[in-house]
Chains A and B, each alone.
Chain A
Amino acid sequence: NAGVMQNPRHLVRRRGQEARLRCSPMKGHSHVYWYRQLPEEGLKFMVYLQKENIIDESGMPKERFSAEFPKEGPSILRIQQVVRGDSAAYFCASSLTSGRDYNEQFFGPGTRLTVL
């Protein structure tokens, strides 16, 4: 059973371009979470999705950022018109269940975005 997969592992964009980050959860997992980690800091929650639904986007910046988790295919975190401050490591995690039967979140290796 493959773990959480993220691609690309490294992404370089110039200011104003778009960044698309992909996450394939573990097999059988229907809950996906995106986190952002700035250098020398802990991870900060961005968004929680289930298939075709955004459950909690309280950590998403109001502009330029969007996320989706379609019925088929990976979850996508999209950043439009990137700025230097978007440079960070973006981690995806998946879990089997949620709520009262909270299950462990398994993390992918991350995508390191560098904005020039």
Chain B
Amino acid sequence: SQQGEEDPQALSIQEGENATMNCSYKTSINNLQWYRQNSGRGLVHLILIRSNEREKHSGRLRVTLDTSKKSSSLLITASRAADTASYFCATVRAAGNKLTFGGGTRVLVKP
């Protein structure tokens, strides 16, 4: 079964608005990562947050991690049409290396 599950599955917003998506997982983790995938393309690494961190920022991205609830959120502020993509969370377990991906959130930013 999927380790990470994103919510919502799809999100449509106007340019300039904020986009928030959530990810839940089931087992203990070493870290959680967020990736972006444009249609038909490869994955771009956005941000990594370790299990002992609670919040991390990178440009217009803000990621939170709540290990007690086994959940993470990704906030994209002041969205742009170029942010239109699918966003995936992926976890790395404490004793492993492989990434376990969720099903993704498809974000559409309308100009």
Interface residues of A (CB under 8 A from B): 31, 33, 35, 41-45, 48, 55-56, 59, 91, 93, 95, 98-99, 102, 104-110, 112
Cβ of B85 within 8 Å of any chain A Cβ, yes or no, is: no
Q: In the assembled complex, how far is the CB of residue A8 from the closest CB belonging to chain B, in whole angstroms?
A: 14
| A110 CA to B38 CA, complexed, in Å | 12
> Are the C-beta atoms of A31 and B88 separated by less than 8 Å?
no
- Given the known A-B contacts A41-B103, A42-B102, A43-B88, are A102 and B42 also in contact in the complex, defined by CB atoms under 8 Å? no
The A contact surface, by secondary structure, is: strand
The B contact surface, by secondary structure, is: strand
Which A residues are in CB contact (< 8 Å) with B99?
A: 33, 35, 43, 45, 93, 105
Q: What are 5 sample pairs from A and B whose C-beta atoms fall under 8 A apart?
A: A41-B103, A42-B102, A42-B104, A102-B97, A104-B48
> Are the C-beta atoms of B41 and A102 separated by less than 8 Å?
no
B103 closest partner in A (C-beta): A42
> Are the C-beta atoms of A31 and B97 separated by less than 8 Å?
yes
* Besides A33-B99, A42-B102, A107-B35, 9 other A-B contacts (C-beta < 8 A): A41-B104, A42-B4, A43-B43, A55-B97, A91-B43, A102-B30, A102-B97, A104-B48, A105-B45
